[in-house]
Structure 1
Amino acid sequence: MILSVIKAPDPVLSLPSKPVEKIDKKLRKLIRDMKETLLAARDPQGVGLAAPQVGVAQSFFIMRKNHGESDEMDIFINPKIIKKTTKENLRNENEPIEGCLSVDRIWSPIVRPNHIEVEYMDIHGKTHKKTFSGFEAIIIQHEVDHLNGILFTTLAMEQNVSLYEERGKKLYEIEL
């Protein structure tokens, strides 16, 4: 079932999520529905979806594999970023700017570490520790921010970077 994606400024998006206590049939169904919802997102195409974005204040998210190009998903339950490093320039012109399914048609070049190590559980309750880099590291940090009640627009203002509104196929800088 395709779920409704919660839009800013809904207060659920600014609340920290609670840890997942139990992986059961209800959680598995919600994850299946979130996968269907993410795959249905076309304008823009979604690459990640956190539980708070569908109105559930629990600590998990899904991410499309292969830099968002695959219909297969990774599931991150109770994720913790345990290490962040930057091994190259923070951002270059070829990297995508961030957007969000909960913040329609707004984009920003958020500066984030480009290498992270994450500890999380999968759908079977098995704990993993894995390193991610590049676009996948950006997606994971963005989704973990959702779990902590932080939107990328807040980071843009904190970093004093521009926000852009998409109109048609062009981006226009927003005056704040």
Structure 2
Amino acid sequence: MIYPIVMYGDPVLRQRAKDIQAGTDITALVGDMFETMHAANGVGLAAPQIGKSIRLFVVDGSVIEDEPGMEDFKKVFVNPIMLEELGTPWDYEEGCLSIPNIREKVSRKERLRIKYLDENWNPHEESFDGMKARIIQHEYDHIEGKMFVDYLTPLKKRLLKGKLSDISKGKVDTEYRILAPLKK
């Protein structure tokens, strides 16, 4: 099932998501999230982006062909805990399915260590770097109630205010279904 993507301005995107009770059957939801993300041509999708305030996100970087090691980067993160972010911050132009048609440079640390459960409730503790780390950081922010625009300068935020307002009203062209909080 393909969910509509929740747009900027919806309160669910600003809440710290709740842990999922261990052992809960999330198989169908995880499948739906991958299907939704692929239909929208995304590389990551967090549960709040489909209106569910739970600590779950999926990533699939296999479409990023110019980045080595991404071809098999497909994972599910359940109840993740960011242990540390390390290294020199680097800028990269990010976008977000909940903020369509806006891309801005965001500075993030180059490496991270994260503890999480997979869709079968198996525990993992792993380190990631480069683009993998960036995708995880972006999606992790979603379950913490943060969005990439929060990293922008006050001037940049003011310049985007009209576009962000239009997005929250559903006045945006996308190739995927959306759920806009202020749509009339």
TM-score band w.r.t. shorter chain: 0.7 to 0.9
What is the rounded CA distance, in whole Å, between the counterparts of 2:43 and 2:81 in structure 1?
19
Please report how far the alpha carbon of residue 113 of structure 1 lies from its aligned counterpart in structure 2 after TM superposition.
0.5
Give the alignment's TM-score, normalised by structure 1.
Answer: 0.80
Contact 2:85–2:111, Cα closer than 8 Å, also in 1: yes
Contact 2:62–2:74, Cα closer than 8 Å, also in 1: no
**Are 2:79 and 1:60 equivalent residues in the alignment?**
no
Give SS of 2:102's match: strand
What is the rounded CA distance, in whole Å, between the counterparts of 2:46 and 2:141 in structure 1?
9
CA, structure 1 residues 161+137, in 2 after alignment: closer, same or farther (shift >3 Å)? farther
- Corresponding residue number in structure 2 for 1:78: 79
- Corresponding residue number in structure 2 for 1:38: 37
How many residues are paired up? 157
- Give aligned-pair identity as a percent: 34
Please report how far the alpha carbon of residue 81 of structure 1 lies from its aligned counterpart in structure 2 after TM superposition.
1.1
Give the AA of the match of 2:106: I
What is the rounded CA distance, in whole Å, between the counterparts of 1:10 and 1:23 in structure 2?
29
With a CA cutoff of 8 Å and minimum separation of 6, indicate the structure with the bigger relative contact order.
2
Contact 1:39–1:71, Cα closer than 8 Å, also in 2: no
C-alpha RMSD of the superposition: 2.5
**Are 2:16 and 1:16 equivalent residues in the alignment?**
yes
Q: In terms of mean alpha carbon deviation, does 145-154 or 62-71 score higher?
A: 62-71
Structure 1: unaligned runs, 5 residues or longer: 166-176
1:7-156 matches, cutoff 5 A: 7-25=7-25, 27-41=26-40, 45-66=41-62, 68=64, 70=71, 73-86=74-87, 88=88, 90-91=89-90, 96-156=92-152
Give the AA of the match of 1:91: W
Contact 1:109–1:161, Cα closer than 8 Å, also in 2: no
Runs of 4+ in 1 over 2 A off after TM superposition: 22-25, 65-73, 160-165
Structure 2: unaligned runs, 5 residues or longer: 66-70, 164-184
